[in-house]
Amino acid sequence: MNRRSLILFVLSTVLAFGALAAPTSQERADWSRFFAEAEAQGTIVVLDNRNGKDVAFVYDAERAARRYSPASTFKIPHSLFALDAGILRDEFQVIPWDGIKRSTEAWNEDQNLRSAMRNSTVWVYERFARQLGDAREIEYMRKIAYGNAVAEGSKPFWVEGDLAISANEQISFLGHLYRNELPFRVEHQRLVKDVMVNEAGRDWILRAKTGWSGKIGWWVGWVEWPTGPVFFALNIDTPNRLNDLSKRQEITRNILRSIKALPPS
């Protein structure tokens, strides 16, 4: 692809995927208490589409526009790439363990798509990355306007490398996935959404994925209600490393409950 074609391709992609960008967000300075209670610094973007109306909220709009390593939240689009490329057939295909013992016990066995997403099994996605190659990874990311769409730097590039995405961009990506509007087969998009299910109630479903780069912690996803979805993307600093990880869900759940987007605990 020559330079002119590349520019036209990128512009067309941005135009195609800009339609679901969040509307002008209402700054929620009052949400600072949820971060303060957890002793955390971060941002959250919430796009409430219940009753067919987009209402966007943000805490720390400047940070919400700043790009960070997506870490394991990249497993959402990465799963789509592997399915589209034929590396992965379905959620039942066994992905053989390589026999290397790792610190997370759940990783030390054969996996499938569902367990790899649930356990955030890094070696599975490192294998996908090797099979796809950097050039194809970049092509896929550009197709969906995913952050800065780079596969450079240390590996895995979505944790240690230069790939970066903002909370605002996470919301846009999730909105397209929810509506099956990404440039992938609808059955693949539905499958990835199925393996994202965290929990559900009588009339709601929570689909989400955590991520941690070592410095930044993420929780992104949405809650489905009969009246429509509520999307969220949170990232926080994690100076206390593992001790900070529970704060990702704690803060997000408290905020979602405050707007009745999740039932009381």
Residue 38 has pLDDT above 60, yes or no: yes
Judge whether 264 lies within some domain.
no
**CATH at 107:** 3.40.710.10
Catalytic residue among 72, 79, 115, 120: 72
Percent of the chain at pLDDT exceeding 70? 91
Which tens digits make up the pLDDT trace of 122-135? 999 999 999 999 99
Structural domain for 246, as ranges: 12-258
Residue 169 has pLDDT above 70, yes or no: yes
Judge whether 42 lies within some domain.
yes
Active site annotation includes 72: yes
Judge whether 3 lies within some domain.
no
For residue 97, which of 85, 106, 84 has the smallest C-alpha distance? Answer: 106
Task: Report the domain count for the chain.
Answer: 1
Which tens digits make up the pLDDT trace of 52-111? 889 999 999 999 999 999 999 999 999 999 999 999 999 999 999 999 999 999 999 999
β-pair type (205-212, 197-200)? antiparallel
Which tens digits make up the pLDDT trace of 82-96? 999 999 999 999 999
Judge whether 2 lies within some domain.
no
Residue 19 has pLDDT above 80, yes or no: no
Q: What is the pLDDT of residue 23?
A: 62
Q: What is the pLDDT of residue 52?
A: 87
Judge whether 77 lies within some domain.
yes
Judge whether 6 lies within some domain.
no
Judge whether 117 lies within some domain.
yes
